Structure 1
C-alpha cells in the first residue's frame, strides 16, 4: 500500500506546514477537500494552541497531519550572540523595540507536543530539522499516525529508514522557508530535486514525497515521474484566501520589483530561503547560526516591521517558484496542481 492510499489521498498534492502563521486550519482543511492532505505547523505554537487547531480541523476532516520541529536546537555562544545583537541595535532603534539580552534556548516543547498528539491523534506526523529517537518515532506510530521524516541528503534518508520512519519528504534547496537540513553548519549542496529522488530511491524503499520549488502542474508531473509519490507545496499557497501569511509578506510576493530569493540565517539562526530585502542583504553575511536563539532575538524586529507595513525588516520566506503564487481559493489551486 502506498502512503497516499494509507492516508486516503486522491490527489498527489500536500499542503506543506509553514510555521509562524501561514498554515491555518482553513488551509489544511482546503487541502483535504481537494483530495490531498495538509499539515498544521506545530512549530512556535504552544501545546494548547496546537491542540485547539487539531480539534478545529478534526471537526471537518480526519485526513490531515501535524509537523514537528525535532528537538535539535543549534546552540550559540554568549559572545557570538552579543555581537549579533549589537549589529541589530540600529534596527531596534529604527523600530523602537528592545531586544532580548541573552539567548533563549528551547526544544519547542517537544515532549508536551508528543503528549498532545497522543491525546489528539492525527493521520500523519512529519518531522523536520533532525531525526527523533526511534523510541519517539514508535511513540507517534502507536497513536495511529504515519511518521514522515524530512531529509535533504542520502545519508539523512538512510538514517531515517533505519530509525523506523514510514516515509520520507525529500526537500531540495529550492524550498522556501527553513531548510530541513540536520547539519545547518554544513547545509547540503544545491542538488536538483530529480537527482535527489534518484539517489535516495537507490538507498531506500520507503515512499518518497518531493518538496522544493514546486509551483506548476508540469513540475508536479516531473517530480512524480522521477519517483515521488506526491508533491509538497508551500510558497504557492501563501497568497490564497486561506493563508495566514502576513499581508506585508503577501504583498511582497506580488511585488514586481522583487528579483530574487536568497538563503539566509539572519532572521532565525538556521538557513532559510527568503525574498531578498534590506535586512537580509545587510546581515546574511555576518549572521551566526543559533536556533531558536536568533529567532527569539529578531522576533521583536519582525513583529514591528509587520505592524509598520515594512517588508524590508520582515522574513519574507519564499521558494524559487514564488512568482507563481496567486490569490484565490486554495482548494482550486491545489486541484489545478494535481491535474
Structure 2
C-alpha cells in the first residue's frame, strides 16, 4: 500500500488534536465511498506503526438504498485482516415517509439517523470512538454553508466528545485534501461502492463544492488559506457589540474545566497548551489554557492539579 501522504496527514492531525489514545477501539463509519474506504485502510496501517496500541473496526450502516453491493469491500477487509461489520437499519424507509416539500429525501434527517445508528453500533461493538472520513475540503464547505444558510462561522471539529452517548467523534483526515484521497484510492485500487441515494450529486454541499472549485481556479491560494484560517483562531477579527464585551468579561470570571480526555496524555508528551471550556457552554466553544514550565513539572509530579491551575487563572 502506498499511502504515505495520507498517513502523514493522519499523524499530524493525531499529534495536533490528540485523536488517538493507547487502548482505543475505533469504529470507522464506512459509507462505502472513497473517503471512508481510504480512511479505514489508512487507519488500519497507522495502527501498525503508531506508538500507541489501538484497534480499528469498520462499521457500515445498511441504510436500505437499492443496489449497493459490499461484497468487494468485505473481501478487501478480509484480505487485510480488518474487522468489518454491516448493520441492518430502516433508515431509508423512515426517510421515504418524511420527504421535504419537493418530495426529496431530507439530507439533514438522514445525517442524524446515520450518526445515531453508527453510535449505537459502535457502542454495541465496544468501541469508545467513531472516526469519520471528513477531510479539509469538507471542512471548508461546511464553514461556508453555515455562513450562507446559518449566519455563523462554524465547521465540524477534529475531535468532539458526546457526553450523553459517552463516545468520541474523531476526524483523522482533517488535514487531507480530497484530491490526495482520490489519488490514494486509485493508486492502491481500494474498492468503493457508489452511492445510489437519489440526492447524490444534487445537494447543497455539491453546489458549494462546484462553486469553490470554480473559485479556486481564479484564486488557487485560497484553499490553503481557508484551511489555515480554521486553526488560526488568534487571527479572528469579527465585530463585537458593547453588550458582547460585558458578557465576555462576566464569563471570564466563571470557572473553566479541562476537557478530560486529552490532559495527562498530552502533558506527558510535552504539551503545555490545553483546551478548556465553560461548563455552561457547549464543549465546542473551546478556549486555550497555557501552563508554565513550573506548572508542567508540578503536574507531572502530582503536586498540583489542572483544576487548581485553572482556578488560579479564573480569578
**TM-score, normalization: structure 2?**
0.31
Larger radius of gyration: 2
TM-score, normalisation: structure 1 = 0.29
